[in-house]
Structure 1
Amino acid sequence: MWKSIFKGNGIIALILSVCLFFGVSSPVFALGGTQPTLNEPAPEFSLPSNDGDGKVALDDFRGKWVVVYFYPQDFTPGCTLEAQRFQRDLLEYEKRNTQIVGISVDDVQSHEDFCDAESLKFPLLADTDGRVSKAYGSWLSGRSLRHTYIVNPDGLLVATFLGVRPVIHSQEVLAKLDELQGIQG
């Protein structure tokens, strides 16, 4: 899989492969493009969802916290683990008035199959042309990068996670939400 993702990117592929192997979160992952600015309005989106109810927009969640996570591909080991962890912790997110939204370039049917297979109860959105991934600086070689963004109830981008480690990421996001919301642990 990595061969097809990094084909033709030489040194970038080598650096990213080493970082991925060692689980390093690094500014190298910002290679996906220009990151949106913190404490500014988050890039808007409206994308088809796995739930079959048409499009889901960031604006649909105004008044809630939103975790927008980008991931490379349905059914791959890291992406599956990350989705499972968000699903496992879904009640904790709900307690924090937070909506989880996953975005990748996979189509709606792939997202439906993935949600069914993993019993996911949050929307996965199909960014098949990569437009939204690019707007969030989460794009490299035709795939979304593993980046996560927290948007506050007013629509401002308040936190960014680049090059995340799927096994611990959901807990990191919950801890950041607690910090942002002033919740004592």
Structure 2
Amino acid sequence: MNVGDKIPGILGLDENGKEIKASDFKGKKLVLYFYPKDSTSGCTAEACNLRDNYSELRKAGYEVLGVSVDDATSHQKFISKNGLPFNLIADTDKKLVEEFGVWGEKSMYGRKYMGTFRTTFIINEDGIVERIISPKEIKTSDHAKQIL
């Protein structure tokens, strides 16, 4: 997925099993953020920063939607534990991470594994990718300011 591309019509199922569609955000700007794993330090910092600045993001016309390959139960716990005011897509089949090009080989302490690259897509009112904040650019504890 690149700047100028239209996002897919169906994004996936949220933490409650509800289908989330691009049309749900028609006329609104969307912050679609991909993160590696629920309840890890970086992902919690990022989610909490977006939570703490949620009203500012909404005032600027943004809706927020998180995506990871964790399942709905994991997302429900993560939302509940951190009081997140936005939905999280449970991309367990990895369809969305692959479609957006944020799934690939990572390495930690010399061990190679497949995972999600922390990436944020800013999508305009017509469902077109306007801006991409890459993994190297994202500051998890100050992410809302980067978006705004």
- Whole-Å separation in 1 of the counterparts to 2:49 and 2:2: 27
Size of the aligned set, in residue pairs, is: 138
- The amino acid across from 1:122 in the alignment is F
Alignment partner of 1:136 out of 89, 95, 100: 100
**Structure 1 contact 130–143 (Cα < 8 Å) conserved:** no
Alignment partner of 2:24 out of 35, 56, 60: 60
Between Structure 1 and Structure 2, which shows a larger proportion of strand residues? 2
**Structure 2 contact 17–72 (Cα < 8 Å) conserved:** no
TM-score, normalization by structure 2 = 0.88
1:177 corresponding residue in structure 2:
none
Pair 1:88-2:52 in alignment:
yes
CA-atom RMSD in angstroms: 1.3
- Whole-Å separation in 1 of the counterparts to 2:131 and 2:9: 16
Between Structure 1 and Structure 2, which shows a larger proportion of helix residues? 1
- Whole-Å separation in 2 of the counterparts to 1:122 and 1:70: 13
2:145 corresponding residue in structure 1:
171
**Structure 1 contact 69–146 (Cα < 8 Å) conserved:** yes
**Structure 2 contact 7–129 (Cα < 8 Å) conserved:** yes
For structure 1, which runs of at least 5 residues remain unmatched after alignment? 1-35, 175-185
Pair 1:41-2:41 in alignment:
no
Alignment partner of 1:71 out of 30, 35, 40: 35
Alignment partner of 2:124 out of 144, 152, 161: 152
Identity %: 32
- Whole-Å separation in 2 of the counterparts to 1:90 and 1:42: 23
Q: Which structure 2 residues correspond to residues 114-129 of structure 1 after superposition, within 5 A?
A: 114-129=78-93
Q: Bigger radius of gyration, 1 or 2?
A: 1
- The amino acid across from 2:120 in the alignment is T
- Whole-Å separation in 1 of the counterparts to 2:3 and 2:131: 7
2:133 corresponding residue in structure 1:
161
- The amino acid across from 1:143 in the alignment is G
1:102 corresponding residue in structure 2:
66
Deviation at 1:53, TM superposition (A): 5.6
TM-score, normalization by structure 1 = 0.71
**Structure 1 contact 46–56 (Cα < 8 Å) conserved:** yes
Select between 127-136 and 53-62 the one with higher mean Cα deviation: 53-62
Ranges of 4+ aligned residues in structure 1 off by more than 4 Å: none
1:21 corresponding residue in structure 2:
none
Deviation at 1:49, TM superposition (A): 0.9
Deviation at 1:143, TM superposition (A): 2.2
Q: Deviations over 1:125-163 (max 9, x none)?
A: 000121101111111243221000000001111000111
